[in-house]
């Protein structure tokens, strides 16, 4: 049997044809639900604190900005593990699956334990680097030390979620996220408004409930893994240490995470600019980001679903199908995300009012609503660019074109979002609106550039699968092939 025929047989057995023919909606809705639940887990803290203490809202907003950036270190391995596990399962090569599982979990656990220690011991320094206002420091410190001190639970949980997705068990991630949300909301209520309110923990109580929900979710993940996943996680798979597996995971993960790392670093600078504008701008940024992220969540879900289809189509050499699939997704995604952004703007007096209804914010509430409406109007234009970036950039990476999006992202983010945000927001005095205009320019410019690249077809012929096939035919292991 020829190599091409063998590849065709393997892809057919692994269900590639079924995935390529799947609708984006069928693949996107489980991703959407899990991502929504994960987003709500973080926003529940902000929403429930908004009627309790506005200073605490700004404090945990700053703390989460740093924690969100630090968790990117874990995505290098977790994102790569999804690719490697899926390829080996699809090829029916299960002999090294347990070893891959163990390396992924062990590396992220070791890395996250170090980061947990750094966050716990250096929380004051980290918050000062972000120019956190003095009145927010106590709450930010306590939240950082509790949630950040246990950040290793999130690292391992992210890895387990990737393993479930690669095995087709997306329902596990949904169930775990739902359970974590319920635990977190109940815990927040008890500490802020219920039986434990007399303890006066405030932000610290919210941090405790968030951490407890993650610990519970991680325990559930290992239970699901033990009962339903074909494979094991054990220290015996690390002797001798499989360096080739780790090298491959890093080789795949570092370029993929490059754009996200650049984005989050740039957002740390943007947050520093906002922190110089006062509590109205700080909290408006937090609330506007929450509302805008509903449009982002839809775009992200369809982008990830499209990435799955594109990856399989490109692996099969069907570039024309991949090209048409992305274009079709782009049209519908732009319409839906723009509609969500417009709706966000139109109902913003009501939605922003939810965050500013407490008695402690009666004086600054109208200012937040007024500023928030201006920001959400600019966000309509931002969504056009961001949707294009999510769909096309993820598809470029799925096709093997990973370097260009990273280089483009670094240049655009720092020249537009950071430099442009500083000039418009701080130097020219346009404040938060100026900063949002700069971020919108970043997204739109990148969206136009990657759309041109996708149309020109520069990404064609960059399939990683074919490169591995060529190396395999020469006697190299697919796992360690360049």
206, 49 Cβ separation under 8 angstroms: yes
What is the number of structural domains in the chain? 2
With respect to residue 133, please indicate whether it lies within any of the assigned structural domains: yes
CA distance 378 to 43: 22
Residue 222: alpha-carbon gap to chain centroid: 22
With respect to residue 236, please indicate whether it lies within any of the assigned structural domains: yes
Q: Which domain holds residue 323?
A: 277-482
Q: Are residues 241 and 333 in the same domain?
A: no
- What is the structure's pLDDT at 22? 66
CA distance 260 to 263: 5
Q: Are residues 446 and 320 in the same domain?
A: yes
44, 185 Cβ separation under 8 angstroms: yes
10 Å Cβ neighbour count for 135?
11
- What is the structure's pLDDT at 465? 44
Measured CA to CA in angstroms, residue 202 lies from 142, 188, 206, 359, 472 at distances of 10, 9, 7, 17, 58
One digit per residue, the tens of pLDDT, for the chain of length 482 reads: 444 444 344 343 444 455 566 677 777 778 888 888 877 766 677 777 776 777 777 777 778 878 877 887 887 788 777 666 665 665 455 668 898 899 999 999 999 999 999 888 988 888 887 777 888 888 888 888 998 899 999 999 999 988 887 676 777 888 898 899 899 889 988 988 888 877 878 788 888 998 999 999 999 999 999 998 888 899 999 988 888 888 877 877 787 777 777 877 888 899 889 988 988 898 899 889 888 888 888 898 888 888 777 776 776 677 898 899 999 999 999 999 999 999 999 999 998 888 777 545 557 788 889 999 999 999 999 999 999 999 998 888 777 777 788 889 889 999 999 999 999 999 999 999 999 999 999 999 999 999 999 999 998 876 654 444 454 444 443 443 22
With respect to residue 84, please indicate whether it lies within any of the assigned structural domains: yes
- What is the structure's pLDDT at 89? 60
- What is the structure's pLDDT at 14? 42
DSSP code per residue over 400-448? T--HHHHHHHHHHIIIIIIHHHIIIIIIS--HHHHHHHHHHHHHHHHHH
Helical residues (DSSP H) of 316-430, grouped into ranges: 319-346, 348-355, 365-388, 394-398, 403-412, 419-421
Q: Are residues 239 and 310 in the same domain?
A: no
Q: Are residues 245 and 285 in the same domain?
A: no
Q: Are residues 392 and 427 in the same domain?
A: yes
Measured CA to CA in angstroms, residue 377 lies from 93, 201, 340, 344, 437 at distances of 51, 37, 12, 9, 10
Q: Is 132 exposed, middle or buried (0-12, 13-18, 19+ CB in 10 A)?
A: buried
With respect to residue 7, please indicate whether it lies within any of the assigned structural domains: no
The model's pTM is 0.73
Q: Are residues 223 and 301 in the same domain?
A: no
Q: Are residues 237 and 191 in the same domain?
A: yes
Q: Are residues 287 and 432 in the same domain?
A: yes
With respect to residue 341, please indicate whether it lies within any of the assigned structural domains: yes
Q: Are residues 37 and 161 in the same domain?
A: yes
Which of 38, 41, 108 has its CA nearest to residue 70?
Answer: 108
Question: Which of the listed residues 257, 287, 309 is the one where a domain comes to its end?
Answer: 257
Q: For the chain, what's the residue count? A: 482
Q: Are residues 250 and 154 in the same domain?
A: yes
Q: Are residues 47 and 187 in the same domain?
A: yes
10 Å Cβ neighbour count for 6?
11
Q: Are residues 99 and 173 in the same domain?
A: yes
């Amino acid at each position: 049997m020829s190599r091409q025929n063998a590849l065709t047989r393997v892809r057919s057995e692994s269900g590639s044809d079924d995935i390529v023919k799947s609708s984006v909606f069928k693949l996107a809705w489980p991703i959407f639900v899990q991502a929504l639940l994960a987003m709500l887990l973080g926003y529940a803290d902000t929403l429930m604190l908004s009627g309790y203490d506005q200073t605490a809202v700004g404090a945990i907003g700053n703390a989460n900005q740093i924690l969100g950036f630090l968790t990117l270190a874990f995505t290098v391995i977790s994102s790569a593990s999804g690719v490697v596990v899926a390829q080996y399962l699809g090829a029916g090569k299960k002999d090294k699956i347990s070893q891959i599982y163990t390396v992924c979990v062990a590396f992220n656990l070791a890395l996250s334990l170090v980061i947990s220690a750094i966050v716990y011991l250096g929380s004051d320094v980290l918050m000062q680097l972000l120019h956190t206002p003095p009145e927010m420091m106590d709450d930010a410190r306590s939240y950082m030390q509790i949630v950040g001190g246990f950040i290793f639970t999130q690292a391992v949980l992210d890895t387990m979620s990737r393993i479930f997705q690669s095995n087709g068990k997306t329902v596990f991630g949904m169930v775990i996220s739902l359970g974590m949300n319920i635990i977190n909301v109940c815990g927040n209520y008890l500490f802020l408004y219920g039986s434990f309110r007399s303890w006066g923990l405030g932000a610290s109580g919210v941090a405790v409930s968030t951490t407890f929900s993650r610990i519970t979710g991680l325990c559930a993940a290992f239970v699901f893994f033990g009962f339903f996943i074909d494979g094991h996680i054990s220290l015996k798979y690390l002797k001798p240490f499989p360096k080739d597996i780790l090298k491959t995971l890093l080789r795949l993960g570092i370029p993929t995470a490059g754009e996200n790392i650049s984005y989050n670093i740039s957002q740390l600078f943007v947050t520093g600019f906002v922190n110089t504008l006062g509590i109205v701008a700080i909290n408006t940024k937090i609330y506007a980001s929450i509302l805008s992220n509903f449009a982002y969540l839809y775009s992200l879900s369809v982008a990830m679903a499209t990435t799955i289809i594109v990856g399989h189509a490109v692996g099969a050499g069907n570039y024309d199908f991949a090209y048409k699939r992305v274009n079709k997704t782009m049209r519908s995604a732009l319409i839906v995300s723009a509609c969500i952004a417009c709706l966000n703007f139109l109902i913003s007096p009501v939605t922003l009012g939810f965050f500013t209804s407490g008695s402690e914010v009666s004086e600054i509430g109208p200012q937040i609503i007024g500023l928030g409406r201006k920001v959400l109007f600019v966000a309509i234009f931002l969504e056009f660019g961001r949707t294009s970036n999510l769909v096309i950039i993820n598809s470029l990476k799925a096709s093997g074109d990973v370097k260009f999006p990273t280089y483009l992202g670094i240049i655009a983010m720092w020249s537009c979002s950071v430099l442009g945000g500083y000039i418009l927001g701080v130097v020219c005095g346009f404040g938060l609106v100026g900063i949002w205009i700069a971020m919108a320019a970043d997204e739109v410019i990148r969206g136009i550039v990657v759309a041109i690249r996708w149309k020109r077809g520069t990404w064609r012929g960059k399939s990683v699968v074919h490169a591995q096939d060529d190396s395999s035919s020469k006697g190299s292991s697919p796992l360690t092939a360049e």
